Amino acid sequence: MAADSSKIAAPSADKRWRLVDNVMRRHGYRADGLIESLHAVQESFGYLDDVSLRFVAASLRLPPSKVYGVATFYHFFTLKPQGEHTCVVCLGTACYIKGAQKILDRIEQDYGIKPGETTPDNKLSVLTARCIGSCGLAPAVVIDGTMSGKLTADETAEHICRCVGA
Amino acid sequence: MIPDELKAITDAETEASAKVRCRLNVCMAAGCQSCHGDKVLKALQAEVASRKLEGVEVRGVGCLGLCAEGPLVLVDPEHVLYQRVQAEDAADIVAALGGKPVKRLVCSLETPFFKRQKFIVLENSGKINPERLEDYVAHRGYEALATCLTERQPPEVVAEVLASGLRGRGGAGFPTGLKWQMVAKAAGPKKYIICNGDEGDPGAFMDRSVLESDPHRVLEGMALAGYAVGADHGYVYVRAEYPLAVKRLNNAIKQAQKAGLLGPSICDTAFTFNVEVRLGAGAFVCGEETALIASVEGRRGQPRPRPPFPAEAGLWGCPTLINNVETFANIPPIMREGGKWFAGIGTEKSKGTKVFALAGRVCNTGLIEVPMGITLREIIFDIGGGIPEGRKFKAVQTGGPSGGCIPEQFLDMPVDYDSLAKVGSIMGSGGMIVMDESSCMVDVAKFFMEFCRTESCGKCVPCRVGTAQMHNLLSSICAGTATMDDLALLERLCDTVKFTSLCGLGQSSPNPVLTTLRYFRHEYLAHITDKRCPAGVCNIHSLAEVHA
Ligand SMILES: Cc1cc2nc3c(=O)[nH]c(=O)nc-3n(C[C@H](O)[C@H](O)[C@H](O)COP(=O)(O)O)c2cc1C
Ligand code: SF4
Ligand code: SF4
Ligand code: FES
Ligand code: FES
């Protein structure tokens, strides 16, 4: 099962490819390391693009269609770059019951974007999650990687405003 | 590592803790960290250092249970719990050590929230530092593994699990001992253990908490399973959305390997067992066992028909034992105290305890562990403290998107697998969401259907198309544009999808609709015939708009 010795060259001199390659090597360049490899790409680059998908496919000796299939099957992977700031609104049951939809509505009202979209000036992306495991603090929002709980729509809007600096 | 060495660690820990006069336990699980528990820990450490206090230990521990009131700090030996602590409170807390507690922060431990619980799975949660193997060992960790490996044969281990009556905590409640027996009997030189930590139910965080608060216990349970069924390799499949759990688990694996509790020749026996972590990537269906196996193999997580069951042909075609995180976490105490002891807790057909993530419209939200057979009323009104703001209870949802909404008339029903199934819900993995009159039950049904529609893997038609159609119908009911014929169609579709889908996701997706139709039909009718939403949640188009 081990790949032959001809190692695939990284798409560029960017050091982040080394992190990706480390993960693939740890899995012996085997096909079952695909999801872990895609996680490594997304962690390093923020999203998966054609170049990275092809690089992973070639390195693991997999057809690009299979890699693309996996990348699009799992919600965690994104094929689009995110805006400068991100706001993840939890839409799990506990948060929904406590008014997460109102937070999303408010964001749409303020910035004109729906979940999965980015503002035209590329400042803010809005995403949703299915429970981030902090249900005790519902509704939960993650702004630029920092979680906050028990926020009202107004408080969230203020919070985003401060981060985006608008 | 042999039993004597484990004892040496325990002795060293006991000796070290004898020097500790006072301990400040700061919750470092995800809930409290998200409200800056880490800053509290640092501030307390700085305060203790600046006062040059001897014998005062500040340490991080796992979830203390009352997550909604975090960050929480537990002071021992006084046994005083502080809630909503901020870094600025550090000086007061340290100054109060040995004297009168800081009144404005005290959270009473004498309330039913703490008194009514029974801890087996969570016995170490909040008591040990999850990042230290020694702490786990000092609380009798790995004792069961060492004893079983050196003194008991694999069939005896299986027999003990059988005797305990433990049923799977991942949702379906399959008897764990029977599953272990099947895998043990399956032929094949290579077998695998998989721990299901996908926790896809949106509104549940039990497995996350167990992994964050006591990761070694899950590893010990898996190693015992490996010994019992003859597997030498295990995978823990964890959601990528749980970075802290993943970090603690990886850390625990490294420590256990270093101590010779994982890896080759464990406890100087011939038994070898390795564990690897695999990350999920946000697909609910990957909680289903055959989809999970596909995902571990690096493929798209699509279920396949069973049989063959994973116990016969699972990961890479080899016999595979899949159990839930909480199931594995129950194993070490069962081996330590005996299956009979465990079987003495709970009800006739549901043994032991169950961990629930209590959330929604209830005063005390957090993580609780209760004996099976406790009533819903006790959970929601005693432990949970009832509904906030004097509102009225409407329903409690268990089992997530595969479960149902249980109305008030069943509040005195015991919580066990069979009773929950009788009223149309399921035990599920332990999500328990309380709803009050501000929730519209049609809207809730729509919410879950939307979830199933987006999470359907698309492999089979009834689920792929059916969930979309049911969602459309529910949307038009919510919008006030549906007719009674639409309602009849919805009921027919529920039936079709339930009986013809390939996997549990599709088969159970109608449950939230079916239970709300059964107990809250009047709300559906209000939307359809009166064009109004009794809870005032749905945006109903006015009659004029409908006819326009
Ligand atoms: C759609 C679907 C989602 C599931 N999600 C989970 C899950 O998140 N965690 C889990 O332990 N089991 C889940 N299960 C159940 C597993 O398939 C399996 O029965 C379980 O992991 C077995 O472990 P147990 O016997 O210890 O409960 C799910 C099943 C289905 C059909
Ligand atoms: S249903 Fe049609 S489009 Fe979809 S996979 Fe099959 S052939 Fe392709
Ligand atoms: S029931 Fe749904 S999730 Fe399950 S296999 Fe069919 S389409 Fe996929
Ligand atoms: S439902 Fe939002 S954190 Fe769990
Ligand atoms: S996360 Fe701190 S008490 Fe649960």
Which of A36, A98, A129 is opposite residue B241, by nearest beta carbon?
A: A129
Assess whether the C-beta atom of B63 lies below 6 angstroms from ligand 5.
Answer: yes
Is residue B307 scored above 50 in pLDDT? Answer: yes
Give the residue, B201 or B493, on which the prediction is more confident. B493
Band of residue A3 on the pLDDT scale cut at 50, 70, 90: very low
Is residue A31 scored above 90 in pLDDT? Answer: yes
Would you call B518 helix, strand, or coil by DSSP? helix
Q: Tell me what pLDDT residue B547 has.
A: 54
Write the pLDDT tens digit of every residue in B102-140. 999 999 999 999 999 999 999 999 999 999 999 999 999
Q: Which CATH code fits A85-164?
A: 3.40.30.10
Residue of B289, B461, B463, B469 to test ligand 3 pocket, by largest number of atoms within 8 Å of CB: B463
- Rounded to whole angstroms, how far apart are CA atoms A40 and A48? 10
- Asked if A163 and A143 count as a contact pair (C-beta separation under 8 A), the reply is yes
Band of residue B235 on the pLDDT scale cut at 50, 70, 90: very high
Sheet holding B192-197, edge to edge: B274-279, B233-238, B192-197, B320-324
Residue of B295, B300, B457, B500 to test ligand 3 pocket, by largest number of atoms within 8 Å of CB: B457
Q: Where are the domains of chain B?
A: 17-111, 141-343, 353-436, 441-544
Q: Tell me what pLDDT residue B202 has.
A: 86
Write the pLDDT tens digit of every residue in B275-292. 999 999 989 999 999 999
Please name the residue of chain A whose CA is at the shortest distance from the CA of residue B437.
A97
Q: Tell me what pLDDT residue A7 has.
A: 80
Q: Tell me what pLDDT residue A1 has.
A: 47
Give the residue, B235 or A149, on which the prediction is more confident. B235
Would you call B505 helix, strand, or coil by DSSP? helix
Mean pLDDT of B53-70: 92
Q: How far is A72 from chain B (nearest CA, A)?
A: 9
CATH architecture of structural domain B353-436: Roll (3.10)
Q: Tell me what pLDDT residue A100 has.
A: 93
Total length of chain B: 548
Cis-peptide, bond into residue A139, ω within 30° of zero: yes
List all residues 6 or more positions away from B12 whose beta carbon is below 8 Å from its beta carbon: B134
**Looking at domain B17-111, does it have CATH number 3.40.50.1980?**
no
Q: Tell me what pLDDT residue B513 has.
A: 97
Q: Across the interface, do A134 and B67 touch by the CB < 8 Å criterion?
A: yes
Q: Tell me what pLDDT residue B163 has.
A: 97
* Residues of A whose CB is below 8 A from B367: 136
- Asked if A41 and A23 count as a contact pair (C-beta separation under 8 A), the reply is no
Nearest to B261 by CA among B230, B222, B209, B319: B222
Residues paired with residue B74 on neighbouring β-strands, in sequence order: B25, B81
List all residues 6 or more positions away from B512 whose beta carbon is below 8 Å from its beta carbon: B397, B401, B403, B404, B405, B444, B445, B448, B449
Nearest to B449 by CA among B394, B516, B393, B533: B516
Assess whether the C-beta atom of A134 lies below 6 angstroms from ligand 4.
Answer: yes
**What ipTM, to 2 d.p.?**
0.90
Is residue A137 scored above 90 in pLDDT? Answer: no
Mean pLDDT of B230-239: 97
- Rounded to whole angstroms, how far apart are CA atoms B33 and B60? 11
List all residues 6 or more positions away from A27 whose beta carbon is below 8 Å from its beta carbon: A33, A36, A37
Q: Which atom of ligand 1 is nearest to the CA of B291?
A: 17
Which of A34, A70, A137 is opposite residue B67, by nearest beta carbon?
A: A137
Mean pLDDT of B41-70: 93
Task: Classify burial at B321, counting beta carbons within 10 Å of its beta carbon; exposed 0-12, middle 13-18, buried 19 or more.
Answer: buried
- Asked if B241 and A76 count as a contact pair (C-beta separation under 8 A), the reply is yes
Fold (CATH) for B441-544: de novo design (two linked rop proteins) (1.20.1440)
Cα-flanking dihedrals φ and ψ of residue B80, to 5°? -110, 130
How many residue pairs from chains A and B have C-beta atoms closer than 8 A? 140
Is residue A4 scored above 60 in pLDDT? Answer: no
Residues paired with residue A86 on neighbouring β-strands, in sequence order: A125
Would you call B410 helix, strand, or coil by DSSP? helix
Give B324 Cα–ligand 1 centroid separation in angstroms.
7
Nearest to A20 by CA among A41, A46, A6: A41
Q: Across the interface, do A135 and B359 touch by the CB < 8 Å criterion?
A: yes
Query: Which option is the CATH number for B141-343: 1.25.10.10, 3.40.50.11540, 3.20.10.10, 1.10.3720.10?
Result: 3.40.50.11540
Reported as type and span, the H/E element at residue B358 is strand B353-360
Mean pLDDT of all residues belonging to chain B:
94
Assess whether the C-beta atom of A151 lies below 6 angstroms from ligand 4.
Answer: no
Band of residue B450 on the pLDDT scale cut at 50, 70, 90: very high
Give the A-side interface with B, CB within 8 Å.
30-36, 38-39, 69-70, 73-77, 91-98, 129-138, 140, 146-150
Is residue A133 scored above 80 in pLDDT? Answer: no
**Distance between alpha carbon A33 and the CA centroid of its chain, in Å?**
19
Gyration radius (Cα) of chain A, Å: 19
Q: Tell me what pLDDT residue B188 has.
A: 87
Is residue A166 scored above 80 in pLDDT? Answer: no
- Rounded to whole angstroms, how far apart are CA atoms B342 and B161? 9
The structure tokens listed for B247 are 């970090």
Give B459 Cα–ligand 2 centroid separation in angstroms.
10
Nearest to B170 by CA among B261, B105, B237, B268: B237
Reported as type and span, the H/E element at residue A68 is helix A64-73
Longest dimension (CA), chain B: 83
B339 CB neighbour count, 10 Å cutoff:
19
CA angle B206, B263, B166 (to 5 degrees): 35
Q: Across the interface, do B282 and A130 touch by the CB < 8 Å criterion?
A: yes
A49 CB neighbour count, 10 Å cutoff:
15
Nearest to B490 by CA among B528, B436, B459, B540: B528
Give the residue, B547 or B381, on which the prediction is more confident. B381
Give the residue, B546 or B314, on which the prediction is more confident. B314
Mean pLDDT of B21-32: 92
* Residues of B whose CB is below 8 A from A70: 298-300
Q: Tell me what pLDDT residue B31 has.
A: 87
Band of residue B30 on the pLDDT scale cut at 50, 70, 90: confident
Assess whether the C-beta atom of B285 lies below 6 angstroms from ligand 3.
Answer: yes
* Residues of B whose CB is below 8 A from A150: 68
Beta strands in B182-303, from DSSP E residues, in sequence order: 192-197, 233-238, 274-279
Q: Across the interface, do B281 and A91 touch by the CB < 8 Å criterion?
A: no
Assess whether the C-beta atom of B211 lies below 6 angstroms from ligand 3.
Answer: no
Write the pLDDT tens digit of every residue in B373-398. 999 999 999 999 999 999 999 999 99
- Rounded to whole angstroms, how far apart are CA atoms B326 and B331? 9
Q: Across the interface, do A135 and B365 touch by the CB < 8 Å criterion?
A: yes
CA angle B124, B202, B71 (to 5 degrees): 45
Q: Tell me what pLDDT residue B545 has.
A: 55
Would you call A153 helix, strand, or coil by DSSP? helix
Is residue B2 scored above 80 in pLDDT? Answer: no
Q: Which atom of ligand 1 is nearest to the CA of B174?
A: 25
Q: Across the interface, do A136 and B202 touch by the CB < 8 Å criterion?
A: no
Residue of B25, B27, B117 to test ligand 5 pocket, by largest number of atoms within 8 Å of CB: B27
Protein residue closest via CA to atom 2 of ligand 1:
B288
Q: Across the interface, do B281 and A38 touch by the CB < 8 Å criterion?
A: yes
Is residue B60 scored above 70 in pLDDT? Answer: yes
- Rounded to whole angstroms, how far apart are CA atoms B165 and A33? 37
- Rounded to whole angstroms, how far apart are CA atoms A8 and A58? 7
Mean pLDDT of all residues belonging to chain A:
90
Which of B34, B431, B439 is opposite residue A149, by nearest beta carbon?
A: B34
Band of residue B546 on the pLDDT scale cut at 50, 70, 90: low
Q: Tell me what pLDDT residue A146 has.
A: 83
Q: How far is A48 from chain B (nearest CA, A)?
A: 13
Band of residue B165 on the pLDDT scale cut at 50, 70, 90: very high
Is residue B228 scored above 50 in pLDDT? Answer: yes
Residue type (1 letter), B118:
K
Is residue A163 scored above 90 in pLDDT? Answer: no
Is residue B243 scored above 60 in pLDDT? Answer: yes
